[in-house]
């Protein structure tokens, strides 16, 4: 059954608050109107933590064992070693970085219960199957890319030229790839027209003077590309042309494309994509390291690599009033124990729960309150960059309502190159679990079949693939930590406190879960506590 058209604009209660006004904007015009209101009021967000703690004193003569050579563990080792602490990192993998991984030729991965995958991408091709973007406000991550000289480039996180494909809606746009610019222009244009006419016609009581209402209408005219004469929306050059302008004599300036009726956009549900960059850690343009996200891990490893004992799995963690003993087994079969004054443990709680550790009961109980997100990604190497050559799309995502796919992402590097690697899906929760049961070849076919719905050239260009299901990766058991309100209130504070001489750190002990900044800033917090205790 088709959704009903919007009801007539209601009259509002007198003198509502700014928050109430924005809420009602959303009720009338959806997310686009709310975003317009936010921009009109000049609302913004604050910045993130910018630098490691300024610690004084010396850790000389004290040993710290760090479990996990991910970004958090290497941050702890790097900063503690500056203070004179003798650090040793124990890492189960044969490489540093933890989830900061990039699949390129020679990279291998075997999931639990799965078959070995060996990446065979061409030289220069890669997929960031771990973290893949850096927000401008994650200054902690950017602190180290600058300090280690890791060159950055712009990552196109949202592209109006890209497509939206929603199959769950109704009407002529359902199941059809539509340019996001068309969805955005039409939804915002129609919404701005409704709202502007309501304000101009005094059918909307707002906490604004008559003069301010006219200023707001002027804003809506600009936001929605409305006619200043009658406040009507009839299209915008930003949504595209049926006949592009250029060196033409007829029709000269080109021919603008025709807007979709508001009902068609509403019923397609494609307007839901307009909220995609509204979060603190999501912007339209972001950063990525040149050559792959693992360049950040390599920057850390260049500083602390000599401290890392690779291929070593922790079996038991003991502690007493004098120190910490970490028992381990090496991939070659050798067993041993590392003794230290303190321990910084950065491995995911999903893994730590299965290791025998001398932790307080309250800590163990708190660990059980944290769930981990199932996550799946796949990289598809393409024979040619048809999205650029045939569709004029340079970077960005293809948004879908198919939970088994999530979104596709087009590379923001090697513009106009011969080949390119597309992120063929990025899924979560039950969808990630379902798709992870497929073989790597089946996953590739699954991703290819959907991509063909968006780009007619998709299937004929897929030549290689590499996929990951993070909940099936042995030393991660999930993409990132998922906290609920109760866990944040009761368990989170417990885990952030020292467990004797053991300090837990990682993205899971931050409010930036799933981001490298969370791991870095958690490490900063814990090493400051450790240094305070060691200096007492």
Residue 205 CB burial class (10 angstroms; 0-12, 13-18, ≥19)? middle
Tens-place pLDDT, residues 250-293: 656 778 899 999 999 999 999 988 864 456 778 889 999 999 99
> For residues 228 and 193, is the Cβ–Cβ distance under 8 A?
no
In the chain, the domains with their CATH numbers are: 63-94+310-369+481-535 (3.50.50.60), 108-158+284-293+374-472 (3.90.660.10), 182-270 (1.20.1440.240)
- β-partners of residue 314 are 328
pLDDT of residue 248: 66
pLDDT level of residue 7 (50, 70, 90 thresholds): very low
Is the pTM higher than 0.75? The answer reads: yes
pLDDT of residue 21: 47
CB atoms within 10 A of CB 120: 15
What contacts 292, CB < 8 A, 6 or more positions away?
A: 102, 104, 126, 128
**∠ at Cα 53 (61, 506), nearest 5°?**
85
Q: Which one, of 16, 33, 19, lies nearest residue 195 by Cα?
A: 33
What contacts 123, CB < 8 A, 6 or more positions away?
A: 105
Q: Which residue has the higher pLDDT, 20 or 200?
A: 200
d(CA 13, CA 506): 48
Tens-place pLDDT, residues 40-71: 433 333 234 689 999 999 999 999 999 999 99
d(CA 164, CA 181): 9
| Residue 156 CA to its chain's centroid (Å) | 12
Share of the chain above pLDDT 70, in %: 89
What contacts 45, CB < 8 A, 6 or more positions away?
A: 137, 280
d(CA 271, CA 273): 5
């Amino acid at each position: 059954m088709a959704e009903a058209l919007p009801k007539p604009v209601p009259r509002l209660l007198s003198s509502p608050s700014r928050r109430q006004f924005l809420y009602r904007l959303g009720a009338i015009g959806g997310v686009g109107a709310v975003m317009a209101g936010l921009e009109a009021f000049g609302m913004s967000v604050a910045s993130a933590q910018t630098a490691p703690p300024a610690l004084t004193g010396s850790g000389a003569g004290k040993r710290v064992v760090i479990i996990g050579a991910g970004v958090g563990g290497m941050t702890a080792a790097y900063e503690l070693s500056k203070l004179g602490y003798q650090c040793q990192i124990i890492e189960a993998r044969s490489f540093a970085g933890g989830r900061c991984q990039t699949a390129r030729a020679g990279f291998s991965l075997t999931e639990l219960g799965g078959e070995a995958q060996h990446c065979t991408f061409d030289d220069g091709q890669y997929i960031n199957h771990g973290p893949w973007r850096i927000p401008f406000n994650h200054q902690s991550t950017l602190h180290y890319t600058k300090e280690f000289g890791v060159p950055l480039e712009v990552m196109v996180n949202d592209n109006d030229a890209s497509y939206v494909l929603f199959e769950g809606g109704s009407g002529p746009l359902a199941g059809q790839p539509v340019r996001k610019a068309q969805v955005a222009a039409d939804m915002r244009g129609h919404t701005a027209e409704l709202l502007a006419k309501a304000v101009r016609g005094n059918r909307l009581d707002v906490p604004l003077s008559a003069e301010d209402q006219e200023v707001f209408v002027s804003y809506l005219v600009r936001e929605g590309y409305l006619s200043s004469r009658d406040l009507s929306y009839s299209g915008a050059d930003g949504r595209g042309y049926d006949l592009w302008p250029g060196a033409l004599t007829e029709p000269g300036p080109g021919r603008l494309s025709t807007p979709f009726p508001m009902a068609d956009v509403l019923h397609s549900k494609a307007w839901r994509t307009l909220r995609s960059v509204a979060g603190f850690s999501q912007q339209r343009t972001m950063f990525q390291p040149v050559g792959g996200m693992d360049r950040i891990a390599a920057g850390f490893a260049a500083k602390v690599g000599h401290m890392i004992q690779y291929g070593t799995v922790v079996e038991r963690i003991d502690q007493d009033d004098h120190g910490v003993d970490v028992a381990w087994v090496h991939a070659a079969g050798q067993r041993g124990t590392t003794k230290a004054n303190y321990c910084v443990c950065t491995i995911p709680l999903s893994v730590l729960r299965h290791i025998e550790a001398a932790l307080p009961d309250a800590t163990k109980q708190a660990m059980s309150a944290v769930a981990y997100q199932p996550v799946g990604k796949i990289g598809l190497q393409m024979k040619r960059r048809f999205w650029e050559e045939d569709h004029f799309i340079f970077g960005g995502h293809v948004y879908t309502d198919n939970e088994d796919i999530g979104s596709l992402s087009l590379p923001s590097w090697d513009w106009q190159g011969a080949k390119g690697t597309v992120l063929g899906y990025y899924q979560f929760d039950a969808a990630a679990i379902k798709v992870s049961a497929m073989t790597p070849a089946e996953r590739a076919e699954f991703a290819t079949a959907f991509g063909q719905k968006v780009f007619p050239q998709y299937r004929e260009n897929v030549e290689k693939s590499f996929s990951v299901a993070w909940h099936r990766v042995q030393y991660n058991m999930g993409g990132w930590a998922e906290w609920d309100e109760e866990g944040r209130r009761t368990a989170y504070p417990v885990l952030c406190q020292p467990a004797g001489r053991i300090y837990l750190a990682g993205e899971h002990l931050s409010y930036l879960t799933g981001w490298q900044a969370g791991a870095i800033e958690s490490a900063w917090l814990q090493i400051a506590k450790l240094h305070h205790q060691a200096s007492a």
